[in-house]
Structure 1
Amino acid sequence: MRTLKYALAASLLVTAPAAFAQQTLSIATGGTGGVYYPLGGGLAEMISEHIEGYEASAEVTGASVENMGLIMRNEADIAFALADTVHQAYMGEDDFEGRQVENTRALASVYPNAVQLVTLADSDIESLSDLEGQRVSVGAPGSGTELNARAVLESNGLTYDDMNVQRLNFNETADAIRDGDIDAGFWSVGPPTSSIMNLASTRDIRLISLTDEEIENAQEDEPVFAPYELKAETYEGVDEAVQTIGIPNVLVVNADMDEQLAYDVTKMLFERIDELIDVHPAAENTTVEFSMESTPVPFHPGSIRYYEEIDAEIPDDLRP
């Protein structure tokens, strides 16, 4: 009897840890030269530390377009994506025609991207129209940068046929500009971003401002676009403010996410936002007000529960 008792106790000791196994969450981000990846890493650390029963990891991806596919197929639990990409996926428009991601829900909008068109300071490129005939990176395939670059170009009378287009990620674009392999490149990312900072530390650069008319043309094509001023000295050697376009970034999940988990992540995000700001200053824009103004698809019910607890005014179209 005593032997059986000890055997049962030993069995409980062996099997008990399985009952407390951590569930792993995958956070789809972007390339390592952008903002999604460090913020995703910071969010993963926060989840692992503060939400009991879960650990999380940030995954390198092709960014917005790829990330929406990962959410649709439940191959990622949380993803960062640009608002225009999120809206197109939700509605089944443009690149998502025939593969509508109706199961998209938002936790929050986290910060605005700025479309940043970069060239070397001694380049002949001084305006958007000067890109004609040039070698231009429009961003990695499947990225929100490419969608934004194409929208800005086409709404202002330029097509890929008018230039030598290359699809490079942020780090590749910076290296190619530095080495003279391309003439200019687009970034759609929260400033400042490490890849442009690294480029500016080795070569003198110029950021191209958009005119009021060019911004208005782009807004007609993509209603989520908004005028955005990039502050002077955001990057080394760029002494004047740059007029461009801003696009919100959204933290998205599948509608199937557990309601309590969605609530916990949303609550943690806003009540511990200082931890994310320590990772990257772009998170300074992560506020409840920004989420209410900028989110293009309905919130997850778990997030709504948190917003209702803090008496946020939730627009009707953001309720599923």
Structure 2
Amino acid sequence: MTIKSLIAAAGLAVLGATPLAAQPLGIGTMGQGTSGYSMGAAIASVLAANGVDALVQPSTGTSAFLPLIDAGELDFGIVNALEIGEATAGEYAFEGRPLTNLRMAARLFPFRVGVFVRDDSPMQSVADLAGQRVTYGFTAQVTLNRVLEALMATEEVTADDIEQVLVPNVVRGADDFAAGNADAAFFAMGSGKVSEVDAAVGGVRFLPVSMDEDAVARMQAIVPQAYVQSVEPAANLTGVDEAMGVMSYDYVLVVGAHVPDDVVERAVNVLHENQEALTEAFANFSTMDPDAMYSDIGVDWHDGALSAYRAMGQAD
């Protein structure tokens, strides 16, 4: 199923199903071509097919759509574990303005990120980024600066060591890379945009991340929620040509406190029961564990979600 058909399906409930909300639930995501967008489109489609009318609503970045969820203007959002913690605590991009109406709805799956280069680039490791033109800044996704800095820290490379190509978000960074304005670009593995750039420039590959204990410790000193895992080449992982270590952290589904408990509970149950359909819509859901959708990351959970997880035996 294509993303275009996912979006069309996401706005409609299956014939005969009774929507649980008078208006479609809005799911905030990053822009088209990102993994976050693909996640949201898949979730919206599966929810809609099970009587929970939902529609994906892309934006320039999490810094833009999380305040809308907090204000009750959007219902759900796709973010990473770092972003939801910062938003609710009022830190970093949300300094002085904590978003107190955000709640956790579900842990989705490990999110793999990295820096890719052209196939013919002489760069072979993260250490080689020093002195190179690398996408950075991410004014609409400011948390990603820390993520990239943590990744580079595995080889003791800092933001001062690279030639910063300032971009508002990862999509613009990938475009600048394709246009020849950057030597390396930060992006999520498994994203449609990476495949697009791969075709445009004649091939890209991700730089491996060291799994050395000291390297991982340097990374986690900046982003404690991150970890390094080994991945194998796969059809949906453009730029991964051999087994390699990659930086990972969890992506989650968040929800506004304004969304009724019964709607959130039903949504959580639908996701729990439909991993196969989610995976058909977006292959990365194959790494989702339906029995580990609840985890304590220091952020309040929505009461409706808690009710579902207690019934499943995942939460006390």
**TM-score normalised by the shorter chain: which range applies?**
0.7 to 0.9
2:80–2:251 contact (8 Å) kept in structure 1: yes
What is the number of equivalent residue pairs in this alignment?
A: 291
Q: Which residue of 2 aligns with 1:249?
A: 251
CA drift at 1:181: 1.9
Secondary structure in structure 2 of the residue aligned to 1:23:
coil
Q: Which amino acid aligns with 1:71?
A: I
Structure 2: distance between partners of 1:163 and 1:214: 22
> 5+ unaligned residues in a row in structure 2: which ranges?
1-19
1:107–1:266 contact (8 Å) kept in structure 2: yes
1:30–1:62 contact (8 Å) kept in structure 2: yes
Q: Which residue of 2 aligns with 1:28?
A: 28
Q: Which amino acid aligns with 1:106?
A: M
Which of the residues 133, 139, 149 maps onto 2:131? 133
CA drift at 1:161: 7.0
> 5+ unaligned residues in a row in structure 1: which ranges?
1-19, 315-320
Q: Which residue of 2 aligns with 1:16?
A: none
Q: TM-score w.r.t. structure 2 length?
A: 0.82
Q: Which amino acid aligns with 2:217?
A: E
Q: TM-score w.r.t. structure 1 length?
A: 0.81
Structure 2: distance between partners of 1:29 and 1:308: 28
1:267 aligns with 2:269: yes
Secondary structure in structure 2 of the residue aligned to 1:149:
helix
Structure 1: distance between partners of 2:249 and 2:21: 39
Secondary structure in structure 1 of the residue aligned to 2:109:
strand
Q: Which residue of 2 aligns with 1:103?
A: 101
Structure 1: distance between partners of 2:21 and 2:204: 50
Q: How does 1:77-92 map to 2 (within 5 A)?
A: 77-92=75-90
Q: Which amino acid aligns with 1:179?
A: A
1:111–1:285 contact (8 Å) kept in structure 2: yes
Identity of aligned residues (%): 24
Higher relative helix content:
1
1:232 aligns with 2:230: no
Larger Rg: 1
Structure 1's 140 and 112: CA in aligned 2 closer, same or farther, altered over 3 A? same
1:280 aligns with 2:282: yes
Q: Which residue of 2 aligns with 1:317?
A: none
* Two-structure CA RMSD over aligned residues (Å): 2.6
Q: Which residue of 2 aligns with 1:209?
A: 208
Structure 1: distance between partners of 2:81 and 2:27: 17
Q: How does 1:142-157 map to 2 (within 5 A)?
A: 142-143=140-141, 144-153=143-152, 156-157=156-157
Question: Could you report, residue by residue, the CA deviation over 1:81-124 in whole angstroms, capped at 9, with x for unpaired residues?
Answer: 01011111122222222011222211101111112110012223
Secondary structure in structure 2 of the residue aligned to 1:269:
helix
Question: Could you report, residue by residue, the CA deviation over 1:142-181 in whole angstroms, capped at 9, with x for unpaired residues?
Answer: 2254442144346845125742222154444334333322
Which of the residues 63, 66, 77 maps onto 2:64? 66
